[in-house]
Amino acid sequence: MSSEPALANALTIDVEEWFHILDYEDAPDPESWEGLESRVALGTDRILAILAEADVRATFFFLGWVAERQPGLARRVAAAGHEIATHGHRHRLVYKGTPAEFREDARRARGVLEDQTGVAVQGYRAAGFSITEATPWAFDVLAEEGFRYDSSVFPAKRAHGGLDVARRRPFRISGPGGGSLWEFPIVPWSLGPLRVPFAGGGYFRLWPLALSRAGARAQNRDGVPVTWYLHPREVDPGQPRLALPWRRRFKYYVGLAGAAAKLERLLDGSSPYRTLAEQVAAYERASGAPPCDPPLALSSSGA
Phi, psi angle pair for 229, to nearest 5°:
-145, 140
pLDDT band for position 2 (50/70/90)? low
Neighbours of 138 (CB within 10 A): 26
* Confidence check: pLDDT of 33 > 80: yes
* Confidence check: pLDDT of 157 > 80: no
CB distance 94 to 132 below 8 Å = yes
- Give the residue-averaged pLDDT of 124-144: 93
What is d(CA 73, CA 40) in angstroms, rounded to the nearest whole number? 9
> Residue 169 contacts by C-beta under 8 Å, 6 or more apart in sequence?
4, 223, 224, 225
pLDDT band for position 1 (50/70/90)? very low
Please, what is the average pLDDT of the chain? 90
The model's pTM: 0.93
pLDDT band for position 298 (50/70/90)? confident
- CATH number, domain 10-297: 3.20.20.370
